[in-house]
Amino acid sequence: MSWSEPAGAPAWSGPGTPDAGAATAETAPIPQSPVVELRHVRAGYGRIEVLHGIDLALSAGTVLALLGPNGAGKSTTLKVVSGLLPPMSGCFHVLGRHVNGVAPETLARAGVCTIPEGRAVFPNLTVSENLRMMTYGGASRRQVEERAFARFGRLAERRRQLAGTLSGGEQQMLAMARALSADPALLLLDEISMGLAPLIVDELYDVVAHVAAEGVAILLTEQFAQAALRVATRAAIMTQGRIVAEVAPDEVPADLADAYLGGGISADRTAEAVPA
């Protein structure tokens, strides 16, 4: 499917088109559409519904941390946003366009870039070869490498090493370098801290903060939240396929403990579950 309205899709009723924010110096700034927006999205596997009406919205340069226990639906939410799992119902918009049912590769071309759980690198290729595959978008090998090595100096030292022999943290850096070479508008990060030492996790999240400061919207999931909350703009707490609270990062710990005990968020907090 091309980057166009799917047949029968409801018309976009948001604030503007993807170009709406491209104001010149002479014109007043026009509010931009969120980079991604889910409204009442239900999704699942086969006939089993796993997400029971998700609402979220992210603007350029913001980091939303999706937190919650095993099986809460965090990865499923990312699958919907990456286009791997079409919503059963509800609305899914990217850069102001209704994209329910749009193919993942089309969303990728529109700037939605995913780093799935586990490391998305080719273990039998070297660091340089992994990066070279990202030249398909038109950038030269040198440009791709320069950008990657500027962000992750350690990859430069290991450019001839097979990716499968890198440490876990270095593999995650390579996965991020590959994703960022595509110049995404929206970056989806699924548990990038998985199995990594705290120092490496901090280093990765420093890069996440830089990337957000460059204007990329970032939706990330984490089961263990501290490192992510250091760079997050907002945190959405998920349990049992629902976002039960959306809060500032410094409001999270007590709520998260509640969520992990399985009792859900307290009633007064649930009342604050405000989709942006």
Please select the residue that binds ligand ATP; options are 14, 34, 68, 111, rule is CB under 6 A.
68
Residues 18-57 that bind ligand ATP (CB under 6 A): 45, 50
Cα 103 from Cα 117, distance rounded (Å): 20
Cα 32 from Cα 266, distance rounded (Å): 34
Question: By CB under 6 A, is residue 87 in contact with ligand ATP?
Answer: no
Are the beta carbons of 66 and 238 closer than 8 angstroms?
Answer: yes
Cα 251 from Cα 273, distance rounded (Å): 13
Question: By CB under 6 A, is residue 240 in contact with ligand ATP?
Answer: no
Total of chain residues touching ligand ATP, rule CB under 6 A: 11
State in angstroms the smallest separation of the CB of 128 from ligand ATP: 32
State in angstroms the smallest separation of the CB of 240 from ligand ATP: 9
Please select the residue that binds ligand ATP; options are 15, 31, 71, 253, rule is CB under 6 A.
71
Residue 27, φ and ψ in degrees, nearest 5: -100, 150
Question: By CB under 6 A, is residue 72 in contact with ligand ATP?
Answer: yes
Alpha-helical segments (H) within 14-160? 74-82, 104-109, 127-132, 141-151, 153-157
> Of 43 and 112, which CB lies nearer to ligand ATP in the complex structure?
43
> Of 118 and 153, which CB lies nearer to ligand ATP in the complex structure?
118
> Of 156 and 194, which CB lies nearer to ligand ATP in the complex structure?
194
Question: By CB under 6 A, is residue 75 in contact with ligand ATP?
Answer: yes
**DSSP symbol at 126:** B
Q: What does the chain come to in residues?
A: 276
State in angstroms the smallest separation of the CB of 53 from ligand ATP: 15
Cα 76 from Cα 147, distance rounded (Å): 31
Q: What is the CA radius of gyration of the chain?
A: 19
State in angstroms the smallest separation of the CB of 239 from ligand ATP: 9
State in angstroms the smallest separation of the CB of 85 from ligand ATP: 9
Q: Is 132 helix (H, G, I), strand (E, B) or coil?
A: helix
Transcribe 150-203 into DSSP letters.
Answer: HH-HHHHHTTTSBGGGS-HHHHHHHHHHHHHHT--SEEEEE-TTTT--HHHHHH
Question: By CB under 6 A, is residue 118 in contact with ligand ATP?
Answer: no
Binding mask 199-238 for ligand ATP (x = CB under 6 A): ------------------------x---------------
Site for ligand ATP, rule CB under 6 A? 45, 50, 68, 70-76, 223
